[in-house]
Every structure is written in C-alpha cells, then in structure tokens.
Amino acid sequence: MKNQSERPLTAEDLRHITIHSDPQFTSDGNAYAFVSTKATNENDYTSQLFIHSLKHNQPKQWTFNKAKNSHPRFSPDGKWLVFQSDRSGTPQLWLLNTEGGEARQLTSFKHGALSPVFSKDGRMIIFSAPLEKEDDVTEQHEQTEDERQKERDEQNKQPFVVKHLKYKSDASGFLDCKHTQIVQYDLESNTFNQLTFADTDHSFEDISPDGNFILFSANLNENSDYELTSDLHLLNLTTKEITTLTNGEGQYGNARYSPDGAKVACFGHEFAYQGATLNELYVFDTTTGNRSCLSTEWDFQLGDAMIGDTRMGHSENGPVWNKDSTYLYFLGSDNGATGLYQTDLNGKLNALYKDNNHVFGFSKHHDIFILGISTPTDPGNFYQLSMNGNPKQLTDANRELLESVHLSEPESLTFKAEDNWEIKGWLLRPYGFEENKKYPLILEVHGGPHAMYGQTFFHELQLLAAKGYAVLYTNPRGSHGYGQHFVDACREDYGGKDNSDLMRGVDYALETYDFIDQERLGVTGGSYGGFMTNWIVSHTDRFKAAVTQRCISNWLSFYGVSDIGYFFTKWELGKNLLEDPSALWDFSPLKYAENIETPLLIVHGEKDYRCPIEQSEQLFVTLKHMKKEVEFVRFPDANHELSRNGKPEMRIARLNHITRWFDEYL
C-alpha cells in the first residue's frame, strides 16, 4: 500500500492519465511503435505515435499535432510506417519514412479511410473506407469543414427515411447508405482499387502470404438485416471470386493466415448460448475448407473481457501465428485477470504469462513479445517478454501522477452463493484508512452482463476509495472468467440469483470487515449494472443511496428503442415483446418503482442508443410523480460510452455528480 502522505485521487486526475495501446513490432524486431492517448485542454483527446528502440530507455515521439493518430503499421522492409490520422479533419491514411521527414497524406476519401495494413511484399496498402454505393474510389474528395457543415445543415432539413431493422448504432448514430468496403492502394502507381462491393459492411482480416487473397468477414446474405452472423470469406484478387470458409451459423473474427498460407485461425462461436457463448479458437484449411476447433477442452473466454474506464485504442487480442505455422498466441480472460496463452494445433494449452493483472494487448516477433499490462494501481505500460522468461518493464507512463496520489490495492475475496457457487470479488479500502473507524461501503455492479471485473486500473473505483468509501466489486453469475456454465447462468433470470450473488457479497463484506458501517451502504452500476441498481433498490431498502447509470428500467420499451433491443431482449430474458409482454414487465424495475425508498441519482447520456435515455426518463417521472427522493442528470451529446471515452469535461462532471450524491446521503 502506498504512503498515506500522498494525496487522494480526484475526478480531475482523469485529464492527466496517459493511455498506451496498440504495440507494433518493427519488421526487424529491434523496436516497436505504439499509440499514446491523453485528454487535451480543448475538452477532447489527442493520440500520438511513439517509437521505442529496445536498446534505449526512452520512447521517441513521432507525431506532435493536436490530432488522433493511430493504427501504426510498418512495411515489411521497415522503411515506411502507415497510420491513420484525423489531422486534416477526417480520418485518413498517412505515410511516414522511418528514417525521418514529414508524413505524407495518402487518402482524401470523403468519409475517411481506416485501419491500414501493408501487403506481405510491401507494394500495396489495404484499408477500410465507408463508401456509398455509387462512390468511385478514384475520384474521392475530402471535404473542408465548411463543406461538412453545409452538408450537415442540408441533412437536418430533410426527414430521415428508415427502411432497415438495423438503422442506428450507439457507436455511429443513425446509419445512412454508406457501408464499409475494402480498398487497395498501389504505392508505386498511386492508384486505388475497390475490392468489395456488397451492400453490407466488410471487415478486413488479413492478406495471404502470396498476396493473392484477401481474408475478410461480413454477412453477404440477403437477409443480413435480420441476422447477427458474420462469415469469413476469401477474395481471389485475380478472379474476384469469393469463397466462404464458414457455415453461416456463427460470428467469426480476429482471423489470420498462417505464414505458410495453408491455414486460417480465428475466434468465433455459433450462438450456442446466444450472447453468453464463449469464443472458440478455430483453424480452417484454406484448400479444403475443413475446420478444427482447438478449444474444445478449454473453459474460459478467449480475448479480453475486462471492464475498465481507462482503456482507449485498439490492441491485439490474437490469435497470432508463430513463423513455422505450428503455434498460436492469444489473450484469455480467466478468474478476474487476462493472460497470454499459447496452443499447438492439437489444442495443447500453455499459459505463457498469467498474473494478477490485465494484459490488454501484445505484439510478437519471433520469440519476443511486447505486452501491454495494466494493474489496479497502474493504468498501463509495456513490457518485454521472452519465452519462459519474466516480463521486463519498458515504459513508465503516468509515473509523475502515480508518485503523487494514493491508490488502494484491492483485497481479493471469495464467498458462497445461496446455492454454494463460489463468487469472486475485491474490496478497496478507503483513503486514509484507520483501524478503529467505521466507513460507508459502495457496491459497484458491472455492465454486460457478460463481462468481467478484475485486476485492472479503474479510475471510478479508485476515486470512490479516495473519497473515503470502501468499494466492493464482484463477478456475480453471468460474468466472464469462470467458465461457460457460469457466464450463461443469469440469462432468463435477471434479478434472480445474480441479485442474490450481489447481496451475498455485501453480507460477506459486512461479516468480514468490521470497519464497514452497515447503516451506510450505497450501490451503483451502469448498463446491466444500472438495471441491477434499479432492481436492487426496488427490492430492498438496505442501501441508503444509489446511483443508476445508463440504465434499463422497462424491458417492454427497451425492445424497440435500443439498437440491440430486438435481439438482446430475447437472448437475455428468453422472450420478445409480443411473445410474452407480461414476462418482460415482470423483469422491469419500473414495475416495482413504488417500492423504491432509497434516494436515487439517475445519470444518462442523451445520445445513448444502447440503453436510450427514455429508460431513465420513465423511471425519473414515475418516482418524481410519487414524490420520491430522485434526481436526474442528463449529459448532452453523450452516448453509452460516456464513462469510458466521452468528452473529458463530461466524464469529470459525471464522477463529481456520483460522489456528490453519495457524500450527501452516506
């Protein structure tokens, strides 16, 4: 535990946290590039590219403008770095000579260009671009800010005509006629060639080692508007023929060619447990299409399922091949931590690195890895790991901040559920902790529900501890990290044993820690955690204050207003709206609103399309009409991701409202 003379963490410290992501080895393995993101004084974020030689202590900054620079990828010969930047106003591709000089803009696409990668021979760059059906990639023009504003003004004068079921997205807002297509850029001739044309979004996955095939994921079916499946496809660049590797019954992604070109590895599943289905690791033979599943005997989530509020930017999850096409490397989420794993093609699993922390990304060169690692007291740094070795720290981001503030080390706890299932969790002691003093406790409930609290830095949790609260956070049934049966166990039982798990956790904390004041208990959570907060305070009066964030209160309306409601309701509750509206009403906290006596703060973003703000409006009006103790804080221009990547001022204001409410009532 840190020295108590250090000051407590504040909400405003969010502005001073540097977030590293996306490590990428150079082609010779002597250095790596990465992205570093932090808040600006203009209420936004800037992301800069750094290069770090493994022979030197300090990374070298390569971009300096007030822009979001990201997705650095090296050419095979190491002479060039292509990256994505919005410095011109729209995300475009830029090319930088690694020996020095200014970056050169490659694309001027009207709606931007994204996620570039080099072909294996370095002659081509493959990227994604949002395009309308009639767009010509050879005649693209990047709009000025005045032109963009004029177009927005014109659009605002016209009605928005909706013809599709999938017409909005929390990430993208209302969806228009653009679709993500895959485009090829020839460096020598300076020409563009559109590779995909179907009326759907395409996700580039990889290019074959011989450069003859593009691997991409998409739903190419006529009924794609009604389906959530995503298949893997091979596009022959010579014949333009598309071959589908998968069977149309699942979701597949993170796909990679083996270096010998004979196989494709990917994550995927076929909805055996709907949205609670664990990823599998599949390998496809590119000649026969035969599929093998390497993860049949494993029982944990592949990839990174960790919940946090200080992770920005993409980072590799895997699977990644070794140079001999005999092993695969990937991240896995297990028991509140994520680690780096290795498997051979028979499914023999080996944990290369697994500790009580959060591996959020990696890059591999031969037998050397760059790992991005976060801990509960460190937002994240990069480490070098050799096979069978120990990680060596390479960066020291946030050193000045971390030396000046006190952060609480979590204490792990395990308790029994009502049916004797083991439930895991953690407790943070409050800042300035004194043995003979009583402290209020706040229960935090994560969203998802199929996600995982764990050993990562979480600013909100640390802030509550800094404000003098003991903080309890657990992984009740429905969480990742404890196997398929566990993550599936809350479906069709929302507010049942998941709620019981949470209450048992509070009981255990009260029995174990005599410094917790049982008369001063608070509860908060967002999304599913907001639903659970609403459910808890409508079914018990043991909590003296509650904050519900981006919540669900009424499943009847959620079905039609959420961007995922039309399938998520069925997935999680077992019923669609017209199948059994009374069952959905029984699952709705709004039904029990008259029972709420706990002072409730409702926090919501006005552009949240995942859990739309009408969910909070219904709850607020109902409680206020009954003259209950309730307050409603609305955040303009904020979506479901407010707490994780919303505007810095809004994120800080949100945290200040949460702590104000608990300070007032606890």
Please write the tens of the pLDDT for every residue from 134-170.
999 999 999 999 999 998 899 899 999 999 999 999 9
Looking at the domain assignment, is residue 240 inside a domain? no
* CATH number of the domain to which 608 belongs: 3.40.50.1820
Average confidence (pLDDT) over 307-313: 94
> What's the sign of the alpha-carbon dihedral 55, 58, 63, 69?
positive
Q: Is residue 120 a contact partner of residue 211, using CB atoms and an 8 Å limit? A: yes
Q: How far apart are CA 86 and CA 107, in angstroms?
A: 11
392-408 pLDDT per residue, tens: 999 999 999 999 999 99
Q: Both tokens of residue 384?
A: 């070098």
Average confidence (pLDDT) over 76-105: 96
Q: Is residue 357 a contact partner of residue 377, using CB atoms and an 8 Å limit? A: no
Asked if residue 3 has pLDDT above 80, the reply is no
Confidence at residue 1, expressed as pLDDT on a 0 to 100 scale: 41
The amino acid at residue 652 is I
* Helix or strand holding residue 269 (H, E): strand 263-269
Residue 452: DSSP 8-state: B
Looking at the domain assignment, is residue 171 inside a domain? no
Confidence at residue 161, expressed as pLDDT on a 0 to 100 scale: 93
Average confidence (pLDDT) over 258-268: 97
Q: Is residue 329 a contact partner of residue 303, using CB atoms and an 8 Å limit? A: no
Strands 168-169 and 173-174: antiparallel
270-307 pLDDT per residue, tens: 999 999 999 999 999 999 999 999 999 999 999 999 99
Looking at the domain assignment, is residue 495 inside a domain? yes
Reference 645, options 251, 158, 314; nearest CA is 314
Give the C-alpha distances (Å, rounded to integers) separating 20 from 71, 313, 373, 575, 595.
12, 8, 10, 42, 45
Looking at the domain assignment, is residue 132 inside a domain? no
Q: How far apart are CA 291 and CA 283, in angstroms?
A: 6
Question: Among the options 527, 557, 562, 643, which is catalytic?
Answer: 527
Instruction: Report the DSSP beta bridge partners of residue 74.
Output: 81
Give the C-alpha distances (Å, rounded to integers) separating 213 from 120, 237, 238, 241, 245.
11, 6, 8, 10, 13
538 a catalytic residue:
no
Asked if residue 130 has pLDDT above 60, the reply is yes
Residue with tokens 């030197």: 56
Looking at the domain assignment, is residue 190 inside a domain? no
179 a catalytic residue:
no
Asked if residue 102 has pLDDT above 60, the reply is yes
447-469 pLDDT per residue, tens: 999 999 999 999 999 999 999 99
Under DSSP, is residue 433 helix (H, G, I), strand (E, B) or coil?
Answer: coil
Q: How far apart are CA 120 and CA 118, in angstroms?
A: 6
588-642 pLDDT per residue, tens: 999 999 999 999 999 999 999 999 999 999 999 999 999 999 999 999 999 999 9
Cβ count near 198 (within 10 Å): 15
Reference 273, options 71, 488, 567; nearest CA is 488
Burial category of 486 from C-beta neighbours within 10 Å (exposed 0-12, middle 13-18, buried 19 and up): buried
Looking at the domain assignment, is residue 622 inside a domain? yes
Under DSSP, is residue 591 helix (H, G, I), strand (E, B) or coil?
Answer: helix
Confidence at residue 4, expressed as pLDDT on a 0 to 100 scale: 52
Q: Which region holds residue 481: left if phi is over 0, alpha if psi is between -120 and 50, else beta?
A: left
Q: How far apart are CA 576 and CA 561, in angstroms?
A: 13
* Count of structural domains, the chain: 1
Question: On the CB side of 571, how many CA atoms lie within 13 Å of its CA?
Answer: 19
Confidence at residue 389, expressed as pLDDT on a 0 to 100 scale: 82
DSSP characters for 115-130?
EEEE-TTSSEEEEEEE
Looking at the domain assignment, is residue 505 inside a domain? yes
Confidence at residue 2, expressed as pLDDT on a 0 to 100 scale: 42
404-442 pLDDT per residue, tens: 999 999 999 999 999 999 999 999 999 999 999 999 999
Q: Both tokens of residue 244?
A: 């589908």
Domain that holds residue 442: 402-553+588-665
Instruction: Report the DSSP beta bridge partners of residue 634.
Output: 604
* Distinct helix (H) and strand (E) counts, the chain: 12, 41
Contacts of 271 (CB under 8 A, 6+ apart): 228, 249, 250, 251, 277
Torsion of CA 207, 25, 189, 138, to 10 degrees: 70
Cβ count near 88 (within 10 Å): 15
To the nearest whole number, what is the mean pLDDT of the chain? 96
Residue 153 sits at the vertex; the CA angle it makes with 147 and 159, to the nearest 5 degrees, is 130
Looking at the domain assignment, is residue 469 inside a domain? yes
Residue 309: DSSP 8-state: S
Confidence at residue 177, expressed as pLDDT on a 0 to 100 scale: 84
Question: Among the options 52, 71, 480, 640, which is catalytic?
Answer: 640
Q: Is residue 508 a contact partner of residue 500, using CB atoms and an 8 Å limit? A: no
Burial category of 474 from C-beta neighbours within 10 Å (exposed 0-12, middle 13-18, buried 19 and up): buried
% helix, strand, coil for the chain, step of 5: 20, 35, 45
Residue with tokens 């909070």: 616
Q: Both tokens of residue 204?
A: 């580039």
**459-466 vs 648-665: helix crossing angle, rounded to 10:** 40
Q: Which region holds residue 500: left if phi is over 0, alpha if psi is between -120 and 50, else beta?
A: alpha
Q: Where would I find the beta strands (DSSP E) of 286-438?
A: 291-293, 301-302, 320-321, 327-334, 337-344, 349-353, 358-365, 368-375, 378-386, 392-393, 405-406, 411-416, 422-428
535-590 pLDDT per residue, tens: 999 999 999 999 999 999 999 999 999 999 999 999 999 999 999 999 999 999 99
